[in-house]
Amino acid sequence: MPSRPLLSLRGLSKSFGALRVIDDLSLDVSAGEALGILGPNGAGKSTLFNLVTGDLKPEAGTVLFDGEDVSRLPPSGRCLRGMGRSYQVPRPFAGMTVFENVLVGASFGGRLEGEAAVEQAVRVLERSGLIRRANEVAGSLRLLDRKRLELARALSTRPRLLLIDEIAGGLTDAEARALVETIRAIRSEGVSIVWIEHVVHALLSGVERLAVLDAGALVTEGKPDEVMASREVKEIYLGIEA
C-alpha cells in the first residue's frame, strides 16, 4: 500500500481582486523527494509557496501536511510541524550575527533550549558552509553568504519539508553550483525539498521531478528531461512554438 504524501495540495485557489493567481491546483510531494517548480513570471509560484506556508489563506482547497489539514494554521504553527522556507530576497536579522540568526531559528522554530539549541546552530552553520562567518554581522554578508544564511535559518528549525524560493538568482554559475551541492546534502539527510527557480540548469541538477505552472494552474509534471522536452513547456515556459 503506497504511503501518503508528506505534502498534499488539493484544489487550491487564490485570487487578488479579479485576478485568479492559483486556480484549482492539486499537487503531492513525497517524503524525501526533491520537486522543482518552473513557470514564467506571474505563474503563481510564490503565491503557491505563501499558501503552503500560511502567509496567505486559500479561498478554496486544502493544504495537508503529513495527513493533517493545516490550511488555517499560521506560519508559526506550520513551522513547528516541520515546514521550513527560504525567501527569494534574504531576510536576516541584519544587526545580529550569523550565529545569532541561526540560534533564533533553533530556539523558537526548532523548540530547542540551551546547549541543544547552540549545538543545532553549529551543526547547521557547518552544513551550510557558514561556520567561518558565525561571528560576522548578517547585514555585512555578500550575496552568496546571505543566501546560505537563508538556508541555514530555515534548517535551524529542523524541517521535514524545505521550500526554497529562487535561491540561485543573482549568483555566478560557480556560486549556484555550490548551493546546489548544499541542497543535495540537505536532501540526503531525509529533508523533502520543493524548489522554485528561474536558473533552470541549477534546478535540473538538484531535483528528481518537475512541475510547471502557468496562470496559476498545473500544466504538467514528471521527470525533468521529459517535462523539459514537452510541448507545453516549450510553448508556455520557453516561449517556443511547438
The number of distinct structural domains making up the chain is 2
Which pLDDT does position 198 carry in this prediction? 87
* Residue 218 belongs to domain spanning: 1-82+160-242
Flag whether 87 is in a domain. no
**Per-residue pLDDT tens digits for 4-33:** 899 999 999 999 999 999 999 999 999 999
Domain end: 115, 142, 158, which one? 158
- Long-range contacts: 168-173, Cβ < 8 Å, 24+? 168/197, 168/198, 168/199, 168/202, 168/203, 169/88, 169/197, 169/198, 169/199, 170/143, 171/143, 171/144, 171/147, 171/199
What would the grid cell of residue 61 be?
Answer: 482547497
Residue at 7 is within a domain: yes
Same domain, 202 and 133: no
The answer to whether residues 59 and 12 touch, using CB atoms and an 8 Å cutoff, is no
Whole-model pTM: value is 0.90
Question: Do 26 and 143 share a structural domain?
Answer: no
Question: pLDDT tens digit string along 143-201?
Answer: 999 999 999 999 999 999 999 999 998 899 999 999 899 999 999 989 999 999 988 88
Residue keyed to cell 493533517: 68
Q: CA-CA distance, 102 to 154, in Å (whole number)?
A: 8
Sign of CA dihedral 199, 202, 206, 207: positive
